[in-house]
Every structure is written in C-alpha cells, then in structure tokens.
Amino acid sequence: MAADLVIEIENTPGALAEVAAAISDAGVNIAAATCVGPGKSAELHILVRHGEAARHALATTHVAVTREREVVVVDVEDRPGVLADLTRKIARAGVNLDLVYVATQNRVVFGAPDLAALRAALGLDS
C-alpha cells in the first residue's frame, strides 16, 4: 500500500533534511515529496511504501506525522497530455481529487475521498 504521510515542519533551513535523514536512516525510501508553506511552517507530503517504519523513525527524532492516508499511484508515460488524459477520466467518473503530485519513475499520486471510485475510474484493480 502506498501511503501519503503529512508532516508539519518549521519553514527553516534544515527542517526537510532532518525528516529525509530520519526516514532514510530507517531504510525507508521516499518515492515522492511535495512541500508547501511560504510562512513560518510548511506542510510536507511524502510518499512511502512503509508508513509504519517511517512514522517510527520520525517519532525518534520528535517529528510527528499529522496525517496518513492511502493513495493511488499510477505509472504514466512521460509525454505531454498524460495528466490531462487521466484527470479527464477521473472527472467523467464524477470523482473529486483532493491530492495530486508527481513521484519518481514516471508516476502520479492521486488522493480522493473515494479511493474505490478513483481506482475504477482509472481502470485499476481495487
């Protein structure tokens, strides 16, 4: 299961490095990350396969995961229009997305309140 972990971090030099080091020291690969926060704090989303191991590693460094959720990860071809094609399929199925970001190895991460409907819209096995 792919897990999107959300971590509130201070928007200071080294904050992301601390999180990345804790996770990698635990032997967990970060497959994707996105961070938004122009103010004093930022919301970091990271994609991992082993959420429990990452949470434990972060807890030992006193960094808390504020939210965790299952997401859908789709392998895509690296060409213009792929995201438009996928999101049109999702929209035609009436599925509302609440999270999208790009991962390593030509993959897109999607989050939605109804993951079963999202998987069905994309033609993925549930």
Instruction: Give residue 37's pLDDT.
Output: 87
Q: Give the model confidence (pLDDT) of 59-117 as tens digits.
A: 998 888 999 999 999 999 999 999 999 999 999 999 999 999 999 999 999 999 999 99
Instruction: Give residue 56's pLDDT.
Output: 92
Please state whether the predicted TM-score (pTM) of the whole model is above 0.75.
yes
For residue 15, CA distances in Å to 19, 60, 65, 123, 126 come to 7, 15, 14, 38, 36
Residues recorded for the chain: 126
One-letter amino acid of 39: G
Better-scored residue on pLDDT, 1 or 57:
57
Closest by CA to 5, choosing from 100, 84, 92, 70, is 70
Q: What does the block give as tokens for 72?
A: 């859908």
As a whole number, mean pLDDT of residues 18-29 equals 94
Q: Strand, coil or helix: what is 40?
A: coil
What are residue 75's DSSP bridge partners?
A: 107
User: Which domains does the chain show, CATH number per domain?
Assistant: 3-70 (3.30.2130.10), 72-121 (3.30.70.260)
Q: d(Cα 118, Cα 126) in Å, to the nearest integer? A: 9
Percentage of residues of the chain with pLDDT beyond 70: 99
Quote the mean pLDDT of the chain.
94
